[in-house]
Amino acid sequence: MSSWEPLLERVVRERYPRLVTHAMLVAGSAVDAQDLVQEALISSFSGRAKFRSVEQAEAYVRRAIVSRAVDESRRRSRESRLAQRVAGLAVLPVVVEERGPGADMLRALSTLSPRERACVVLRQLDDLSVTETAAQLGLSEGSVKRYTADGIARLNAVLGSTASTVERISVQQVDTQEVRDGK
């Protein structure tokens, strides 16, 4: 057994459901989520990356899922445009209606562009900072803020909600004299 195989088995055993949920939110499709996770696991563990922990491996696989989801969306968009040009007819997208808890959120997320969806999921659902999200997606922090704000605005319109992207930092008033006196 190779040195990476026990770690792969632990990631699959302990983190697979969370990875599939993450993939479903990022890709907007329950149908594609498991395929995305499988591809991300294969590429993550067949490469040269060396993981020291399950957490590190999971984080790497999550980044691979986001990258693959964005790439897949671009590929489908290119193929759709090409098919329309070749056929001269509008290609009607196949819509699979999700049912069950969170179906409205999945439908709303599907209205976002791939980058908006990735930013919203990473920032709001995975609770990553702007800096962490920018690093994962290879974007500037300003782009992450813009995609997140645009995505949340679009989600608000679709869902009829009023969520905000304003980040709040709690501030406590401190007596400067006490700070100087070391109290």
Percent of the chain scoring above 70 in pLDDT = 78
Q: 3 vs 29, 46, 50, 71, 107, CA distance in Å? A: 33, 12, 10, 30, 41
Average pLDDT over residues 18-23: 92
- Considering the domain architecture, whether residues 82 and 151 belong to the same structural domain is answered as no
Q: Are 115 and 70 in contact (CB under 8 A)?
A: yes
Which token pair is 174? 């401190």
- Considering the domain architecture, whether residues 16 and 83 belong to the same structural domain is answered as yes
- Considering the domain architecture, whether residues 12 and 64 belong to the same structural domain is answered as yes
Output the pLDDT for position 98: 56
Output the pLDDT for position 169: 43
Which token pair is 157? 């319109």
Query: Would 181 be classed as within a structural domain?
Result: no
> Is residue 181 pLDDT above 50, yes or no?
yes
Query: Would 179 be classed as within a structural domain?
Result: no
pTM: predicted TM-score of the whole model, two decimal places: 0.58
The helix (run of H) or strand (run of E) holding residue 84 is helix 54-87
Output the pLDDT for position 134: 92
Q: Is residue 170 very low, low, confident or very high in pLDDT (cuts 50, 70, 90)?
A: very low
Query: Would 149 be classed as within a structural domain?
Result: yes
Tell me how far apart the alpha carbons of residues 77 and 85 are, in angstroms, rounded to a whole number: 12
Q: 49 vs 57, 62, 87, CA distance in Å? A: 9, 14, 43
> Is residue 140 pLDDT above 90, yes or no?
yes
Residue numbers of the domain that contains 130: 98-169
- Domain final residue, candidates 43, 68, 96: 96
- Considering the domain architecture, whether residues 71 and 6 belong to the same structural domain is answered as yes
Output the pLDDT for position 158: 87
Q: Is residue 75 very low, low, confident or very high in pLDDT (cuts 50, 70, 90)?
A: confident
Query: Would 130 be classed as within a structural domain?
Result: yes
- Considering the domain architecture, whether residues 59 and 117 belong to the same structural domain is answered as no
Number of domains in the chain: 2
Tell me how far apart the alpha carbons of residues 160 and 144 are, in angstroms, rounded to a whole number: 23
Tell me how far apart the alpha carbons of residues 44 and 59 are, in angstroms, rounded to a whole number: 10
- CATH of residue 120: 1.10.10.10
Output the pLDDT for position 101: 55
DSSP state letter for 138: T
- Considering the domain architecture, whether residues 62 and 127 belong to the same structural domain is answered as no
Q: Vertex 151, ends 148 and 153: CA angle to 5°?
A: 110
Query: Would 177 be classed as within a structural domain?
Result: no
**pLDDT tens readout for residues 2-17:** 677 888 889 899 999 9
